[in-house]
Structure formats: C-alpha cells, structure tokens
A and B are shown apart, each in its own frame.
Chain A
Amino acid sequence: MSGLRILVPIKRVIDYTPQVKPRVNRAQTAVETANVKHSMNPFDELSIEEAVRLRERKATPVEEIVAISAGPAKAQDILRTAMAMGADRSIHVQVDEKDALEPLGVAKLLKKVVDEQKSNLVILGKQSIDDDAGQTGQMLAGLLNWPQATQASKVEVEGEKVTVTREVDGGVETLRTKLPMVITTDLRLNEPRYASLPNIMKAKKKPLEKKTLKDYGLDAAPRLKTVKVTDPPQRQGGVKVEDVDGMIGKLKELGAL
C-alpha cells in the first residue's frame, strides 16, 4: 500500500447555539432553515481534524484528504472551511434542500465516490446534529463490505493496521483491523483547530469539484415519509409568590399539599 487516501464526508447543518432554537415551519413538515445560520456538523469537524492529524503524525503517509459534501450551493462554505483546516481538495454534490438525502442515499453516493477516488479510509461523524440518524457510516461500511469502527475516541494507523479505541458504557473497547475501513468519530477524539487566516486564503485556491447525483448515476428518491414535525411540549412558566403564605396557598391551589 502506498499511503492513506482519506475521504471525509461533511454536512452543513443549523449552527448550534443555546440562544437560537430551531423553529418548526408552518406546514409542520420540517425545521425552518431559511435565514438561519449554518455551520459544519460538529462531529464532521472532528473527522477533518483527525485526518489532518494522521498526516501530521507521519506514522503512515497520507496521500490525500478529500472532503465531500452533498447539499445546497452553500455547502461549499463548509468545504472551504474543511480545506482551510487541511483537506487537500473537495467535491460538492449539488442536492437541493428540498430533496435532502436520507442516510441510505448518502451511503450509496459515498460508495460511488470511494470507488472513484480510490479512497482506503473514510472518516465520518457518528451522527449529524440535525437528523440524529447515526446510520450513514454503518450503511456505507455495509455497502462497501469494509470493516468499521464506530464512535472512535482514538485512532492509530500503522501501515495497513488500524487500531481504534471507542468509549463504551463503563470503559473502553479497542478494535484492530486492516485498511480499507470506515471510522465514525465521537467527541473525545480530538479538539478541532481553528481555520487560520492564511489557511483560509490558501483554501480559496484549492480545487473544489462540482458534481450532481446524475454524475454518479444515482437518483436518490426518498424512501421515508415525514409525517409531522412538532416542537417538544412547552415548559410551563413558573409563577412568583409574595411570601411563604403565598407559596403555601399556591401549592394548595395546585393540589400539591
């Protein structure tokens, strides 16, 4: 084997902030995404970071790190971020927001890309924080018939041998396998770096290939039907009472006493 050819699939999701809660759209079919700030799925940042660290560790030469994202035109923003963090080039597969892919669709697409790019290691987030499906990595490993190690908290590659540590309830589990393989990342794997300004500039010049599902001979018609999207039940606001007597009165009123 000559070296690692790493593919890192990444997804553009609503930016997580404690202040801005996602809102369900009026038709109750999805979460409102227009005019909402988006960023890279946090687990995918870990994947990019790990790929770059594998290169920096120099234990096994990394030939290439390719980032890929299937999504609307804006997904190119996160591909630029991935390249600023250290990916060498990227592929954007245009998929409109209304036709968003399901995990199986993504896995099928990734299989094609893996074949095309001759990747021998795919590092994915264990889930994306918007749909929380947590299926893509596993499905991809199935389609490729490759070994997989999910929720990695440590990854070591030596030649063809890969050792992955994963945190499980009450301890850690260590898996050993051989390339090619699929790894999904968990949050203790690393701490992603910032995109530095010089690297942001350089990333602008790195190649970004634009593709469509057709280019890969895929039509990813949805198999699932979303019946309804609703908000979690609203928390009842508290009430203020004047004093202890007021509180006792209120508790009685509510039948708690």
Chain B
Amino acid sequence: MAVPSRFVAPMRRASAVARLSSPLRHCRPGFQARWTGNTSATSEPHQQDAKGTVKGGAAPAKTVKFTSDSYPEIQRDSKFAKITQEHVDHFKGILGSESAVIDGVSQDATDDIEPFNSDWMRKFRGHAKLVLKPSTTEEVSKILKYCNDNMLAVVPQGGNTGLVGGSVPVFDEIVINLSKMNQIRSFDEVSGILVADAGVILEVADNFLAEKGSIFPLDLGAKGSCQIGGNVATNAGGLRLLRYGSLHGNVLGIEAVLPDGTIVDDLSKLRKNNTGYDLKHLFIGGEGTIGIITGISIICPQRSPAVNVAYFGLESFEQAQKAFTEAKSHLSEILSAFEMMDGRTQKIIQKVAGTKLPLEGDYPFYCLIETSGSNADHDSEKLQNFLEHVMETEIVQDGVLAQDQTQIQELWACREGITECLGHWGGVYKYDLSIPISRMYDLVNDVRDRFTEAGLLGDDESFPVVDVVGYGHMGDSNLHLNVPVRRFDKKVEKMIEPYVYEWVANEKGSISAEHGLGVTKRPYVGYSKSETMIRLMKQIKDSFDPNGIMNPYKYL
C-alpha cells in the first residue's frame, strides 16, 4: 500500500493547516523591499530577513539592524558602567557553571550572544556582551545586587518573543535570561493552583496541566517559546482572555527580585488576601522595569473536554456585534473565544496561502466562536439553539460548524494564519488597540479612506500600501489594525502616526492593548495615560529601581 498509515487522512488535513500557517515558504513576493521598520507600529508574528523578505525560518541575527541605529534619538546613558573583566569574573564566581555565563567580554562570543541580542521579529538588536543564566532565585538576587552596586544596566529576558522590543538590550545591558529556571514547583489538584519557576515555557506548563485535567488560563501563538514569567511580565492577553480573564485575576502570587537584591516572596496561594496594597500587580505587565520575576503562583481552571468551533460570514460589523451579544446570551458560560476577521484578511489568506475558505460566498466580516464545556451534549444543545437563532434572524448569513478536531484546527487557522500571510508583500504596520466595541471597525475604514484619498493604496507596484485590514479579539474589544505594505515609505508613516493614536485617544481607548510598551510604544504612552498617571508610574519606577538599571530606554 502506498500510504498505509492510519494517520494519513488526518494528516492531509493537518497539512492543510500547516500550509496555511507557513504559506510563505511557497510563495515569493514579487517585490522585495527593504523593511527598516522604525515606526512605533508593532511589527509582528512573522520574521523578516535583511531584504525584507518574509520567510518561514529565522533570519540570521546579524542582518538585523541595531536598535541604536533605527532609533538614533535613544542615547546610551553614561551613568551606567561598562562591563569589565572583573565584573565578568565576579558573575562567573556567582554562577559557577560554564554554561550559565556567555562571556563576550574576555573573548569573541558574538555568534553565541546574537540570539539573545536580537528579538523574535528580527527588528531589534542590541550590543550586549554578556548573558547570564541563573538557575535559582538566590543567584538572581546576587547578580542584581552586584549590578546595582556597580551601576550595570540589565535586561530581564524570558522566551524573547515579545513584540515591542522589550526583551533585548538597546546598548550593552547585561541580558539576564531565565531559561534555566524551569522547574514546576507544585500543583494542587484540588485548588488547581500551580507554582512554578518563571522560566517554565508556557506550553510545557500547559502540557503538564493537561495531564492533570487542568489548563493554563492563557494561550497564545508563541506558546512553544514564551515563558510564563515573560507572560506575566507583559500581562499577555491571548486567545482565551474572554473566558479565563486576565493574568491580573489569575496570578495569585509572585516571587521577584528587586534591583538591590531583595527577594520579594509573595508567592501566595490564596485567592483572597486583602492585607494592604497588592504589589504583585506592579510586576504583572511591569515588563522587567522594577524587578525580575522568578516564580509565580497561578490558579488554573479545569480543562474542557468538549470544544466546538463555528465560523460565520456576516453582512456588516453591526451584525458581528449582534452575533456577539447573542453568543453571550445563548452560550454564556461555555463561550471561550469570539474573534472577528474582516473579509479582506480572509481573501489575503486565500490568496497568499492558497487555501480554500470554509464558506462559498464572500462576506465583509467573519467571526469565529469557540465554546468549551464539560458536557458535550449540553454544549451541543446550546450551540444548536444559538446557531438556529442567528441563522433564522439573519444575523449570520452563512456559517460552518467544525465536525472534528481537524476542522477545529482548520477554522482556527483562518484566524491565526492572518498575521503571517499579511507579511507577504514586504512589511506590515501593526497596531494592537483597545477601542470601544461599537467603534472598533470605524478606525479601519477611516485609515483606509486616508490612504485611498492620498493615492497611496492600490493594486499594483506603484502604490506602497496593499490594503488596510482589521481583525482581533472582538470579545475583548481588542482590534489588530494592520497595514500591509510593499515597501517602507515615510509618506505612509506620516499618514498613520500620530493619526491612529489620536483617534484611539479620542475614543478613550488604549494604544497598546496586550503587547505592552517596550521600545516601540514608549513615546506614545501619553495618548493612553494622563500626566498624573505617568508621574505616579515614574515614582513607582524610582522607588523600586532608584538607579534605573532595570531594562532602561523602555516603558516609561
């Protein structure tokens, strides 16, 4: 038999998904522009090489432009000491093991250090000469105390998948990488509380929990690389925030080390603890600016055995909102994701990845909903009622319901594959915004109109802008506004910034919903936070980190 495996048929499906998620291996862009990418737009879950070509594999790190060149306005702060051999010897003394110190000071270790110097998007690159990989909280404490005493700047680094340039140095900051702190400390099967080192990879934590019938209350595309400490440090949102809530709710406790070496042991396993200011929240979303998280305690819900996914075509954004309201009322507690994709994103997937879309007709909007529950029969009944209702009332024009796991994955690929396909033409300006739900899509239309009027958007090579598209976590009012472009063009940039930020500020939205501030969004925080707020944040920063050694040039 030519293809004997029992898994061949499912694999055919699986390969359709793979095709969708890495389409660019097969298609070469007609035009390859150099993508310098120095706007504040969060560039994205796709990686680019020096020619601006987007490829499946990682580009060699050395071709990435230095952040100090892309952002000439950022200057190295002379208060920080330069690393000497003496410092390196001291760290070697603390860490002992050879593999815990990558020393580019006493020798040339450029190749070894590069992966820690440049970020996942290949957009940011620092000049670090030293990487430290502590294995215990005590080691982190000794390292930080020494750095603080000697005015050595540091960058805490997790899985290095952050999307705002926060996880790599700008100049010669020492990288403190948490990957060796990768032990699960405890799991209580009754309460569902997991305590683990910050460096545990999200997927490892989730697989561990799956064995116990639980689930990590966060899921995102980078789960195979990002660390739970990094997730907490960025307050990552992800695909199931709608269901499980934000990390501010799920993280029960934190163990962290302050710049002066103090170990803050707040690894509480209590859901309730009203005994003063809840300081752990400062570390959640703190992006490594006030201390290093070394351990977390987090409450993990039961894993749902019954999962269903449906995908709809809708006539307007109003109908998408209605579908969301109906989904909430009909599906209530089993609704676990509600994602919106505009028709343009789906056409781009079809074009770039060459996949057949689930629906025959074309619609201006699509939604993906997921339910997760404990009882398949109960869920199907609810879902059937909901589906019948939205079809009969014509809120939804057409739709499909996944019949098996493979179809579930295929439908998710229509949402998760967007990011990668958008990079097909060369570059993408990306904005990750919180906007009141009723106004969410207006921004996309407004930006598209601006480009059309300016004659910058069109179908052939003479136009820099390919399209303006919107998709996102509709259930969380989180819009991803994306502008795929054929080449980098100052004119394009001037049309979007600060326009987008002003627009969002007018709606009292957020200029960074889930990706954080890092290097890219730092200058724009004023659009989402008042002067008073910024002043208070600076005071917090100063009181935790008076010498300013923690992740400088970022965040504030």
Contacts and interface: CB of A to CB of B under 8 A. Distances in A.
Decide whether A and B are members of one complex. Answer: yes
Interface of A: 15-19, 35, 37, 39-40, 42-43, 46, 81, 127, 129, 132, 151, 167-169, 186-188, 191, 194-198, 200-201, 242-243
A161 B362 CA distance: 38
Given A42-B13, A129-B9, A242 B404 contact: no
Contacts of A167: 2-3
B300 to A, nearest CB: 17
Q: Which of A35, A167, A198 has the most CB of B within 10 A?
A: A198
Interface of B: 1-3, 6-10, 12-14, 16, 97-99, 210, 305-306, 310, 312, 356, 358-359, 376, 387-388, 391, 396, 398-407
A194 B399 CA distance: 9
A91 B399 CA distance: 27
B398 A81 contact: no
A196 B9 CA distance: 21
A197 B391 contact: yes
A201 B9 contact: no
A187 B356 contact: no
Contacts of A46: 9
A187 B396 contact: no
Contacts of A42: 9-10, 12-13, 404, 406
B400 A194 contact: yes
Given A37-B376, A129-B9, A19 B210 contact: yes
Given A16-B406, A191-B356, A194-B358, A129 B10 contact: yes
Nearest to A80: B403
A129 B399 contact: no
B80 to A, nearest CB: 31
A188 to B, nearest CB: 8
Nearest to B100: A242
A187 B12 contact: yes
A187 B3 contact: yes
Cβ-closest 8 pairs across A and B: A39-B404, A42-B9, A194-B400, A17-B405, A16-B10, A197-B399, A129-B6, A187-B9
Contacts of A243: 97-99
B8 A196 contact: no
Contacts of B7: 16, 129
Chain A interface helix/strand/loop/mixed: loop
A197 B404 contact: no
Contacts of B312: 197
Nearest to B9: A42
A46 B12 CA distance: 12
A242 B98 CA distance: 8
A37 B403 CA distance: 11
Contact of B405 (A15, A194, A195): A15
Contacts of A168: 2
A195 B400 contact: yes
10 contacts: A16-B10, A18-B14, A39-B404, A187-B8, A194-B401, A194-B403, A195-B401, A197-B400, A197-B401, A200-B387
A196 B398 contact: yes
B405 A16 contact: yes
Nearest to A169: B2
A197 B9 contact: no
A242 B359 contact: no
B390 to A, nearest CB: 8
Contacts of B402: 194
Contacts of A187: 3, 8-9, 12
Contacts of A191: 16, 356
B400 A196 contact: yes
Given A16-B404, A81-B403, A197 B396 contact: yes
A81 to B, nearest CB: 5
A194 B404 CA distance: 10
Q: Which of A16, A46, A169, A198 has the most CB of B within 10 A?
A: A16
B366 to A, nearest CB: 13
Given A16-B404, A127-B6, A201 B388 contact: yes
B153 to A, nearest CB: 28
B267 to A, nearest CB: 26
A51 B387 CA distance: 27
Contacts of A15: 404-405
Nearest to B410: A194
Contacts of B2: 151, 167-169
A194 B402 CA distance: 7
Contacts of B16: 191
A66 to B, nearest CB: 19
A35 B305 contact: yes
Contacts of B9: 42-43, 46, 129, 187
B99 A242 contact: yes
A36 to B, nearest CB: 9
A200 B310 CA distance: 12
A242 B391 contact: no
A17 B406 CA distance: 7
A16 B14 CA distance: 11
A237 B404 CA distance: 31
Contact of A194 (B98, B99, B305, B407): B407
A10 to B, nearest CB: 12
Contacts of A200: 387, 401
B10 A39 contact: no
Contacts of B401: 194-195, 197, 200
Nearest to A134: B1
Contacts of A17: 405-406
Given A17-B405, A19-B210, A37-B305, A201 B391 contact: yes
